[in-house]
Structures are given as C-alpha cells and as structure tokens.
C-alpha cells in the first residue's frame, strides 16, 4: 500500500532533519545539501540544536512536521475504521482544506513582507504545521482513491430496449 509508505517516508525525512546536527559529517552534508534545494536556510529563520542549524527554516520544519502528522493520522485512521469514505475528500473539499490550512502561513508571510510584523520562528513553525497537515490530508486523500480494489463495483448497464411501435 502506498499510503503507509508515504507516511513512513515523511516521518523518516522529519527525523533526518532533526538528527542532522548530531549526524556524521558525510550524512549531515548530504542532508544540508538536500535542504538547500528546498529552503533558503537563513540562520536567523532556522532553529538550532547543539549549536548547529537545522537544515531547513522554521516554517519548512513546521510544514514537514505537519505533513508527517497528517499522513500518519490518515493512515492510522484507516486502520481504526473500516469506512474508507471519511478519508477521501471531494475536489471541493480538498481545495477548501488546503486553502484553510494555508491561511496561517499566508497571513504570516504577508505581514512579514509588508513590514507590518516581524514574525518569530515559533510562529512560522506553527503556521507551517497547519499547512503541512492540510497538504498531507489532500495528498493522502488523493492516494486513497488509487486503491481501486476498495471501490464498489458498478452494476453493468443494461442495454436499452426499443419501445414497440404502437
């Protein structure tokens, strides 16, 4: 099944980000390089552990934390119930979920870019968590629709009968 693999991969990536300051130099270099592809890695916008910067900024770390939580909750919810329907969002529901989850990040980014408010890493991370959870729920819902064996079979369409002439 693809959903548990995605949840496990998101948890593994989050764990790698957190343990990088304690990792051997070769592994740490690879993770920092991967982080540089997806994040600006500004020191003042990143958390630090043991005197070393985490490979992604606070907002990205929050997004990855939220994605790991959302994906894991989706998978665990699938094991907790036989009903698959709660896990599948309609296209409108997916859009709504993602937009609502993006609002905290949009607000913090807008306020920072407008020089109205200077955010903190904690606030950026929490806003990112909301976005990560929403994104994970949308992605995992899409993945859940790939399980065609779980879909109900449709009745075959009966051929139309031509009405008799009167």
pLDDT of 89-115, one tens digit each? 888 999 999 999 999 999 999 999 999
Looking at residue 122, its pLDDT comes to 98
Instruction: Note whether 19 and 7 are within 8 A (CB).
Output: no
pLDDT tens digits for range 33-68: 999 999 999 999 999 999 999 999 999 999 999 999
Sign of the Cα pseudo-torsion (50, 22, 30, 74, in order): negative
Angle between helices 58-80 and 121-144 (to 10 degrees): 40
162: helix, coil or strand? coil
Looking at per-residue pLDDT, the higher value among 68 and 146 belongs to 68
Integer Cα distance of 159 and 114 in angstroms: 64
Mean pLDDT of 143-154: 65
Record the tokens describing residue 116, joined without a space. Answer: 């109205």
């Amino acid at each position: 099944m693809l959903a548990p693999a995605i949840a496990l991969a998101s948890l593994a990536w989050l764990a790698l980000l957190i343990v990088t300051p304690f990792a051997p130099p070769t592994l740490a270099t690879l993770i920092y390089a991967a982080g540089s592809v997806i994040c600006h890695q500004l020191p003042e916008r990143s958390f630090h552990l043991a005197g070393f910067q985490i490979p992604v900024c606070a907002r990205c770390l929050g997004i990855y934390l939220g994605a790991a939580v959302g994906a894991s909750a989706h998978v665990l919810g699938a094991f907790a119930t036989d009903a698959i329907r709660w896990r599948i969002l309609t296209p409108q529901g997916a859009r709504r979920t993602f937009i609502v989850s993006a609002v905290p990040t949009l607000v913090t980014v807008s306020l920072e870019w407008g020089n109205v408010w200077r955010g903190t890493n904690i606030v950026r991370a929490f806003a990112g968590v909301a976005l990560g959870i929403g994104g994970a729920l949308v992605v995992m819902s899409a993945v859940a629709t790939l399980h065609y064996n779980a879909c109900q079979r449709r009745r075959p369409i009966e051929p139309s009968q031509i009405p008799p002439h009167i």
